[in-house]
Structure 1
Amino acid sequence: MEVIITNEESIGQLVADDITNLLRRTPDAVLGLATGSSPLRIYDALAEGVSRGELSLARARGFTLDEYVGLPEGHPCRYRTVIDEDFTSRVDIDPAAIHAPDGNAPDLDAACLRYEEAISAAGGVDLQILGIGTDGHIAFNEPGSSLASRTRVKTLTEQTRRDNARFFDGDLDAVPMHCLTQGLGTIMQARHVVLVATGSGKAEAVHHMVEGAVSALWPATILQHHPHVTVLVDDAAASRLQLADYYRYTRAHRHLVQ
């Protein structure tokens, strides 16, 4: 696990640079797309790169992490709507190449199975973007989630619903109680995982994820077992890291590695 401590303004460009390099090698790469505030600077940087002609996503494909159950098509908080607004509409990717779980399917379990099959048929995810919740969840894998879980229906915790109420004009009752989410086992199959966290509110979760024991109580800790994870955090999110000075030291001397 590589931990990069930098300023919030730099994080988006660093991830966009990784994605640009990936697309130059593999133009039809599969991207794992996250919603929420954490990846916005990444999408900003990608949009700027496309507008300058520095990269193209015309052949790329994408899979979103999760979706609320029961929100009507076009709802502003539906994650398919959010991805379309924050990412798809701003770059040159084919909207039909973006896939999302169907939170309105008549058979949700069957929809989850189809989603797993679609990811597999695409050859798996090349680079997965993640954020992290204050309780250590990634995607909507809440504390207590199986570390081997696959795409499934989950019940959101009250903490997650409170955290997300800001997207629903502060109305907690408007936040759905259920979602479809890629499982931890699904996420672990991505070839490269990039997790972004900023702000002091994420510091405890980042500490457990990077330096704590692997436990279902802090679902993101499963990433310690992944062979290629990059964690990008600002100083506030890194404030609980016991080895923060070492992470800064290794980053500063990375250019010396042959």
Structure 2
Amino acid sequence: MKIAIHRNPATIGDHLAARILAELRTANAAGRPYVLGCPGGRSPMPVYVALERQLAAAPVDCSNLVIAMMDEYLLSGPAGFSLPPSSAHYSCRGFGQREIVGRINSALPDAMHLPDVNFIMPAIAAPEAYDAQLAALGGIDLFLLASGAGDGHIAFNPPGSARDSRSRIVTLAEQTRRDNLATFPDFQGLDEVPTHGLTIGIGSIASLSKSVAMIVWGEGKREAFRRLATATTYDPSWPATIAIECQNVELHADTAARTEP
């Protein structure tokens, strides 16, 4: 795994946004989709902010860009599971629409707006079909990944997830839910955090990604950095270590997260 240490989260964002736009230009020239795997939450936000800024300065045609989200919370009710409204503060779908697609669209001239059809995520009715959908697009060109601070969850895959797991509905680990109290501070307590979610699988990430950028920053991610920097194979007790088994993987951290292996 290539490890890159940056001064701060903003420089991580600048570096990866520049890479994404360069690769998107190449995809545009070839007339093919460019699939960007995106988590929600704090870790990738510097990338999304930098994309907006760089696109405003030098617009790029985003009609071939496909935003592929990793996961979504599920609400439980008498009729089974349902998606939260995209307006909910914790909705991953809403996050993607506001913080990724919204930022890209706001930076571009009207004629270059990203079509809604290019925003995809797993579906409740057949979550496993997400893998086939991504494969049909040629795989994920660059998957931005993040590690849970307390238990190493990746997307909503809890500790103990099988190496070959595919996109599916999961029960969220309690530590994952506690981590997300910080990710979504409008939660008033653990009881408000949903207990289930849709997630791309561990095996899905490994088999469908052409390249991976794992992002960890801040003092709270020091254990995540240590676990990822020293991993030699997938460790189900820290699911984010699947990154080590992906193609063309890079670990991007800031100086606050870096620990000596």
Band the TM-score falls in, shorter-chain normalisation? 0.7 to 0.9
SS of the counterpart of 1:232?
Answer: strand
Give the counterpart of 2:136 among 96, 99, 121. Answer: 121
* Misfit runs of 4+, over 4 Å: none
1:173 aligned partner: 191
1:184 equivalent to 2:189? Answer no
Alignment match, 1:248: none
Equivalences, count: 235
Q: What's the counterpart of residue 214 of structure 2?
A: 195
* Preserved contact between residue 136 and residue 206 of structure 1 (Cα < 8 Å): no
Alignment of 1:5-154 (within 5 A): 5-7=5-7, 8-27=9-28, 28-70=33-75, 71-74=83-86, 75-91=88-104, 92-102=113-123, 105=124, 107=125, 111-134=126-149, 135-154=151-170
TM-score of the superposed pair, with normalisation by structure 1: 0.86
**Identical counterparts, % of pairs:** 35
Aligned 8 A contact 2:6 2:254 in 1: yes
What amino acid is the match of 2:169?
V
Partner-residue secondary structure (3-state), 2:170: strand
TM-score (norm 2): 0.85
Distance in structure 1 (CA, Å) of the matches to 2:246 and 2:129: 25
- Could you report, residue by residue, the CA deviation over 1:99-158 in whole angstroms, capped at 9, with x for unpaired residues? 0123xx3x4xxx212212211221111110111101212111111111111101111111
CA RMSD of aligned residues (A): 1.5
User: What SS does the corresponding residue of 2:128 show, helix, strand or coil?
Assistant: helix
Does residue 234 (structure 1) correspond to residue 254 (structure 2)? The answer is yes
Report the CA distance between 1:170 and its aligned residue.
3.1
Deviation, structure 1 residue 15: 0.4
Unmatched segments (≥5 aa) in structure 2? 76-82, 105-112
What amino acid is the match of 2:10?
E
Check conservation: 1:5, 1:233, Cα contact below 8 A: yes
Q: Which has the higher strand share?
A: 2
Report deviation, 1:72: 2.6
- The aligned counterpart of 2:173 is 157
Change (3 A) 1:113 1:21: same
Closer, same or farther in 2 for the Cα pair 1:69/1:94, shift >3 Å?
same
User: What whole-Å deviation, never above 9, does each CA across 1:142-198 have from its counterpart, x for those lacking one?
Assistant: 111111111011111111111112414332111110111111111112001011111
Once the two structures are overlaid, the 10-residue window that deviates more, 143-152 or 209-218, is 209-218
